[in-house]
Amino acid sequence: MEGFDDLDAAWQRALAQAWRAHVLGNIGVGAVLTDRSGTIIAEGRNRVCDTTAPPGRLHGNSLAHAELDVLAQLPVGDYEHHTIWTTLEPCLLCISGAVTSHIGIVRFAAPDPLWLGLEQLQEINIQAGKRWPKRIGPLTGPPATFSALLPMVWFFRRQGGGSATRAYEADHPDLVALARSLAGGNTLDVLGGEAVETVLERLWEDLLRAGD
């Protein structure tokens, strides 16, 4: 089981971006891109509720996902030897963005059962199959649980749950219960000014229990 300090720098930055997305009222997903040497060359986060964004970056709409926030920073090119690190398994929109951008590897911290079966796209479309990235994930332990938790808190607060949380309910009832509890309280709000490693430390025991 990995603690925060044991994670790659890319994971640490992606988690920090996910936390920042949550604090600013967005769905808590973060992402970074590394080149073939492992150097971080772009960072991004979910911006679906933001009213502003850097030039060329989506914001304030349902397309403003973390992975697209990263990919929008890239000039046209071949990124076969680059890796995108995202805290939540990419949805249809984001895996399509990775395919279109020629990203070679996708790493994800937490699975997203809402999009189970997306990998079959590479089997039914030749172009998707040629460019389909290698997928690696999920992580284990509290960092993975935290990555799944933040988006669920947003959905509980905005929609009372919805399909995204129901997709977890059968196999991860303790995680859903923790998300519901945090959505209804102020624990995360009080921690809003803290760094992500401090937040993880504060929630560590709860994340351990929810991730069992």
Q: What does the alpha-carbon distance between residue 45 and residue 66 come to, in Å, rounded to a whole number?
A: 4
pLDDT tens digit string along 122-162? 999 999 999 999 999 999 999 999 999 999 999 999 988 88
Q: What does the alpha-carbon distance between residue 90 and residue 98 come to, in Å, rounded to a whole number?
A: 9
pLDDT value of residue 1: 54
Average pLDDT over residues 38-55: 97
pLDDT value of residue 176: 96
Structural domains present in the chain: 4-210 (3.40.140.10)
Strands 40-45 and 103-110: unpaired
Residue in the block written with tokens 């929810």: 210
pLDDT value of residue 181: 97
pLDDT value of residue 49: 98
Using alpha carbons, select from 12, 36, 31, 11 the residue that is nearest to residue 21.
Answer: 31
The order of strands in the sheet holding 40-45 is 40-45, 30-34, 79-88, 103-110, 134-136
pLDDT value of residue 81: 97
Q: What does the alpha-carbon distance between residue 44 and residue 32 come to, in Å, rounded to a whole number?
A: 6
Query: Does position 99 have pLDDT exceeding 70, yes or no?
Result: yes
Q: What does the alpha-carbon distance between residue 130 and residue 203 come to, in Å, rounded to a whole number?
A: 42
Long-range contacts of 172-181 (CB under 8 A, 24+ apart): 172/148, 172/210, 174/209, 174/210, 174/211, 174/212, 175/145, 175/148, 175/149, 175/210, 175/211, 176/152, 177/210, 178/149, 178/206, 178/207, 178/209, 178/210, 179/149, 179/152, 179/153, 180/156
The pTM for the full model equals 0.96
pLDDT value of residue 41: 97
pLDDT value of residue 2: 66
Average pLDDT over residues 77-92: 97
Q: What is the CA radius of gyration of the chain?
A: 16
pLDDT value of residue 201: 95
CB 66 within 8 A of CB 30: yes
